[in-house]
Amino acid sequence: MTDQLQPWPLVKQGHASSHPVKTLQYLLRARGQQVVADGTFGPKTNAAVRSYQGEKHLAVDGVVGPQTWGALVLVCKRGDQGDGVRAVQEEFDYRTGDPDHGFQVDGVFGLKTQEAVKDYQAALSDIPGMVVDGVVGRVTWQPLVSGMLDI
């Protein structure tokens, strides 16, 4: 499809209900921040981002760019559960574009999630470092949150 990764998106307060805010919120929750995953980057999400940036000794500016995304993403694989998995599933739900019959966001990395990840990785297999293994690591997270390859 493409041999270049799109850059990590810049996300900040005011991006109400735009991709990938809900994914960001799930990742913040997976990293111990108290925030509601509602898809709106308001004052509470801004405070959670700033808190996390401070914990990780990043620039505390409330802007989620390459350094903050890099610190937030975590490896997710079959058998995992929780908000990190919800973030992965949210990305596939976003790509279905069907609010009534979207991808199930249940926080359980089962066979269906693993198959979706493998299919996504296979479609982007010409990207350097992309491995079709069903494991969501940094090389898979970047195209997911940057919005590459709608399905």
Task: From 4, 3, 21, select the one nearest 12 (Cα to Cα).
Answer: 21
Confidence of residue 6 (pLDDT cuts 50, 70, 90): confident
Q: Is residue 62 part of a domain?
A: yes
Is residue 83 scored above 80 in pLDDT? yes
C-alpha to C-alpha distance for 39 and 16, rounded to whole angstroms: 7
Is residue 105 scored above 60 in pLDDT? yes
Confidence of residue 1 (pLDDT cuts 50, 70, 90): very low
Confidence of residue 147 (pLDDT cuts 50, 70, 90): confident
Query: Residue 120's domain is classified under what CATH number?
Result: 1.10.101.10
User: For the purposes of burial, counting CB atoms within 10 Å of the CB of 110, is it exposed (0-12), middle (13-18) or buried (19 or more)?
Assistant: middle
Which tokens sit at 142? 């970047």
Q: Is residue 10 part of a domain?
A: no
Q: Is residue 92 part of a domain?
A: yes
pLDDT by residue (tens digit) across 60-74?
999 999 999 999 999
Q: Is residue 1 part of a domain?
A: no
| Number of domains making up the chain | 1
Q: Is residue 14 part of a domain?
A: no
Q: Is residue 114 part of a domain?
A: yes
Q: How many CB atoms lie within 10 A of CB 1?
A: 11
Q: When comparing pLDDT for 104 and 49, which is higher?
A: 49
Q: When comparing pLDDT for 5 and 34, which is higher?
A: 34
Ranking 99-103, 130-134, 137-141, 142-146 by mean pLDDT, the lowest is: 99-103
Cα 110 → chain centroid: 17
- Domain region containing 60: 21-146
Q: Is residue 137 part of a domain?
A: yes
pLDDT by residue (tens digit) across 107-124?
999 999 999 999 999 999
Q: Is residue 15 part of a domain?
A: no
